[in-house]
Amino acid sequence: MAAATTTGASAGGAGPARDAAALQEVMFVGNNWDGTADVIRSSGTFAKLGRINVIPDKQKRLTEIYTNPVKLIYFLGIRNGPGEGHDQFVDDMYSTPDGTAMVVSRPSFADVVSIDLATGDINWRFPVSGYRSDHMAVSPDGKRVAVSASTSNTVHVLDITTGKEAGSFKTGDKPHENVFTDGGKYLWNMAIGDVNTDTDAPWLDWTKGDRKITVVDAVTFKPVKVVDMRTRLDAFGRSDLNDAVRPVAFTPDETKLYFQVSFFNGFLEYDVAEDRITRIKTLPKNPDTSEDRTTWVNDSRHHGMSMSPRGDKLCVAGTMDDYATVVDRASLREGPLVPASKPYWATVSGDGKSCVISESGSDQVTAIDFATGKKTVSVAVGDHPQRVRVAHVPTDWTSP
């Protein structure tokens, strides 16, 4: 297993835990190509509060990579594949429970680091197995963070304060999104397969690898369930759809799972207890979007989903179709199509009233009102924003 290394301040960078009253709720916006994370208000104006450099050790990491031929091959592969010609410096981010640090996965550097929010120094660094880190998830108690190591088909689960590994488990090919369920008892991982190849024609689907959902016990990390959506899609009568599960959203009671798949403009509904797909929603295509699948970023057509706190509305990022929309969950009717430039992620505002999408094509985040389905505000951020997460920082926080 990989080991965490400590640099700068003591691991965790914290000292005594802060009282929750001394924290403010914010959002972290990861600017993937910049290697920065913007900190914005979590609701209302979503005004920018500051910016964090998440690659303060850039030169050291690059020296390691350029002096290791194997690491260099993967580094350049990330740049020319999922990075669309750019290095991927930040994928996912969470705050520690005491609000003193940001934990970040850095794909091009194949690691997870903890950044001290007061000084900007690295508290600890965990090199993942293989050569690329990806999506993360934080446990409901905030104490552990799971990270996908996409080239080794592994998920590592780390202590969020120390960076020490609590355990790991194997997945399908190219693990992607992670979600804790049942109060943190289980951890779901969605493996999406090889999305960076141009073998995108339906008859070449067999080249995309082993795509499945792996559900493990979050204490023992032993598998408790494996879901192969290929058989569920076939049983539902949609053998034409790809089975790579992309972003997902659970209902508040976790009885239903909504998920996107590669190449599809829409999403599906899966009944967890019945273990079957129950409904499908096809969303409008943009007539200006090329039908050449090889032009779609990482096999996405739509990438990004979130659900309102009451569970009555879904927000969908129509990535390659350049819009986002709010869908009524009962009727599956979509609301207005809100124009957006390559929206790449969707989350929920701190007050629960808005869906917040990252517009990676125009370097901004945009809030859409769940009630009306209309845009309320856009805020400029850094280069190629992707993941957006609710977080906490000290009430008196300023950029280091």
Total number of residues shown for the chain = 400
Per CATH, the number for 5-394 is: 2.130.10.10
Q: What is the pLDDT of residue 36?
A: 98
For residue range 322-352, list pLDDT tens digits in order. Answer: 999 999 999 999 999 999 999 999 999 999 9
Closest CA to 211 of 235, 185, 249, 241: 241
Please state the φ and ψ torsions of residue 73, each to the nearest 5 degrees.
Answer: -60, -45
Query: Residue 206: phi, psi to the nearest 5?
Result: -65, -15
68 DSSP 8-state letter: -
Residue-wise pLDDT tens digits, 125-146: 999 999 999 999 999 999 999 9
Mean pLDDT across the chain? 94
pLDDT for the residue 16: 38
SS3 289: coil
> Which amino acid is it at 226?
V
What is the spatial distance between Cα 263 and Cα 243, in angstroms, rounded to a whole number? 10
Question: Who contacts 20 (Cβ-Cβ below 8 Å, separation ≥6)?
Answer: none
What six digits make up the tokens of 43? 């609701």
The predicted structure's pLDDT at residue 8: 38
Place of tokens 């799972």: 257
**pTM for this entry:** 0.93
Residues of the chain with pLDDT below 70 are 1-21
Distance between CA atoms of residues 151 and 358, nearest Å:
26
pLDDT at 21: 57
**204 contacts 193 by C-beta, under 8 angstroms:** no
Please, how many CA atoms are within 13 Å of residue 243, restricted to the half-sphere of its CB? 25
